[in-house]
Amino acid sequence: MKAVHVGAGNIGRGFIGLLLHEAGYELVFADVADALITRLQEADSYQVRTVGQHPTTTVVDGFTAINSSQDPDVLAAQIAEADVVTTAVGAHILRFVAPDIAAGIAARPATSPRLAVMACENAINATDLLEQEIRANYSGDDLEDKALFSNTAVDRIVPVQAEDAGLDVTVEDFSEWAVERGPFDGQEPDVPGITWVDDLGPYIERKLFTVNTGHATTAWHGWRAGHARIAEAIADPSVAQQVEAVLGETSALLVAKHGFTADDMAAYRTKVLARFANEALPDPVERVGRAPLRKLSRHDRIIGPAAELAERGLGCEGLLACFAAALAFTPDGDEEADRLQEILRGQDADAATEEITGLDASHPLFAAARERVAARQRTL
């Protein structure tokens, strides 16, 4: 069995690549980062170290690596004979990797089993986005015969690595990789690290609106309180209170929308907060809070659940306080944070609110979001 994983960064090596290796796949990494690919090509192995209550060290070996920008034909040939293709590149990069994957699918023999394509990104239904881009780059009429596309939800905290780590990766000891089983028609690959589910939507939103929402909330409130790391921030009672308020609101939405029980959500929140408090993960608040414009966009981790709560007539004051904290997040070197401040300085409150949140002025959340925008503008 062969798996091609596109995106050889820390998540690729320390999460998806690790699980595919442990499942017995011949692993092929592809990336455009020349120095990284060269190191992988020269290395016999690397280590993945988990930290937390159950620390382990796993050696990953037997892999190959391809520079997809320099050797696209080699990558297409590998995909043509693979069983699985996964990605961990960032949802906004999928359109750039789609042509290579499309070329590999087109080169597959007609007698080959269908290639399983799974985008393992921090976004809702990322595989749908990848499939759309692959279709746009595929000239034949046999795509359905050669490939299947299955959405996934992935969850593992991979912190900033030590400067001397090389290819080795340190990750938390918790991980979850949920994959929708429907597209496989009962022929799911044997990957022990995968949780197969019939309906992925609730799992995606539970993770996004708890882990990602909570992580960002901890980062933005923690940064404003002067904390450097996530574990340090969540240990601050004032920050923890803000995070717990936000997760109480998102849990209420998930119970109402997807039928999770209140007890299930309480247990899930407790587990998530314990992960944030893991002192062995030196995760800077600036890293977790970066790219605020994307994280404040209409269907992402803050405005997304807040909008749905407002539509249902449910409270979202904690999420609005998080929104306000994000508007005041101004670390050095974050282009999106700089752009956010330009919007706040250069537009009136109505226009700025619409651009930042994607909300229409008629939306029930708009007025409250506008109040926070206007309040931030008065400090500039």
pLDDT at residue 128 tops 90: yes
- Among 287, 156, 179, 161, which Cα is nearest to 227's? 287
Q: Bridge partners of 286?
A: none
Mean pLDDT of 164-179: 94
Spatial strand order in the sheet of 45-51: 56-61, 45-51, 169-172
Q: What is the reported pLDDT for 259?
A: 93
Q: Flag whether pLDDT at 39 surpasses 90.
A: yes
Please give the Cα distance from 135 to 335 (Å, whole number): 32
- pTM of the entire structure? 0.83
Backbone φ and ψ for 334, nearest 5 degrees, come out as -105, 105
Give the pLDDT of residue 146: 97
- pLDDT score for 282: 84
Confidence of residue 111 (pLDDT cuts 50, 70, 90): very high
Rounded to 5 degrees, φ, ψ at 21 are -60, -45
- Per-residue model confidence (pLDDT) at position 204: 87
Average pLDDT, stretch 198-204?
Answer: 90
pLDDT for res 309? 98
For tokens 């920008």, the residue is: 69
| Burial group, residue 154, by CB count within 10 angstroms (0-12, 13-18, 19+) | buried
- Encode pLDDT of 230-265 as tens digits: 999 999 999 999 999 999 999 999 999 999 999 999
The pLDDT value recorded for residue 281 is 86
How far apart CA 236 and CA 341 sit, in angstroms, is 27
Q: Running DSSP on this structure, what letter comes out for residue 99?
A: H
Residue 349 dihedral angles phi and psi, to the nearest 5°: -60, -40
Q: In the predicted model, is pLDDT for residue 182 greater than 90?
A: yes
Q: Which residues contact 85 (CB under 8 A, 6 or more apart)?
A: 3, 4, 5, 6, 79, 101, 104, 115, 116, 117, 118
pLDDT tens digits for range 57-76: 999 999 999 999 999 999 99
